[in-house]
Structure 1
């Protein structure tokens, strides 16, 4: 057994191990996310382009950002009449899958001439 005499080094190794485990615990599946996105399409569109003026576009958005927002709605840290209800019953895996789906959509932009 390896003996750690440096508490800072031990803490860094422990934190790295936890982050590695948590990031591999939920291998996101964009195909599953696409299936789940059918419940999001009324407002955000299956393609991630918002269908109503008050909904944000999700296409091409960062997976981490979407996951954080959905978890905030689920926990109540962030509140919205519709999103709080939708996110309430999502599992971490479902959130990861949805975020992977929307991140996987490629967006292009054209500058005006």
Structure 2
């Protein structure tokens, strides 16, 4: 599987999130949430109507930093697997992007977000 570098691990604050625009030729951006040395990456599209999740750059988490939140509909998602816990898409999930971390860098499949 061909991969691309998403960012350095340190580009995402521990306990925070960060958005990434679509890859060249892509249509949908990605976002990442960091928990220590773990990074969870998802396609930036709410399963309810396909809108990007954030209204402000890099703001994907609720006030407590515990759940991913859709700014348009208020749906909340678990960080660990993207499952919608409440809102109009309850029981559905965000599109998970496989992640590989090596030498302080975060890699995703080259086709992620296409």
Q: TM-score range by the shorter chain?
A: under 0.3
Greater strand content: 2
TM, length-normalised to structure 1: 0.25
TM, length-normalised to structure 2: 0.25
